[in-house]
Homo-oligomer: A and B are copies of this chain.
Amino acid sequence: MLRPLGDRIIIELVEVEEKSQFGIVLPDSAKEKPQEGKVVAVGTGRVLDNGTRVELEVKEGDTIIFSKYSGTEVKYEGKEYLILRETDVLAILG
């Protein structure tokens, strides 16, 4: 098992179709493309300056959208994961 620290989360990548409904690749290359992932573990939270720990909003099992190029790839027991900070998470799906 992998236990992320502080405000970090661990996700498995979810494959997202990069084409439009009609199969045309959208040319909006100037914008950062987001990606989807499924949360498999969350850290214990961020410690504030007054000493209290703020729990993460993201929970295990959530499907999230995150900024491409954020995080660090980790391979563990034959599977690939991505470790992100919660601040790299843009939104929770569903």
Residues of A within 8 A of B (CB): 1-6, 8, 10, 21, 26, 28, 31-34, 41, 44, 47-52, 54, 57-58, 65, 67, 72-76, 78, 83, 86-87, 89-94
- Closest B residue to A78 by beta carbon equals B21
Q: Check B5 against A89 for contact (C-beta < 8 Å).
A: yes
Q: Contacts A48-B51, A49-B48, A51-B54 hold; do A5 and B92 have CB atoms under 8 A apart?
A: yes
Q: Check B72 against A2 for contact (C-beta < 8 Å).
A: no
Measured between beta carbons, the chain B residues less than 8 angstroms from A21 are 78
Q: Contacts A10-B91, A91-B83 hold; do A5 and B48 have CB atoms under 8 A apart?
A: no
Q: Which single member of B8, B33, B89 contacts A90 (CB below 8 Å)?
A: B8
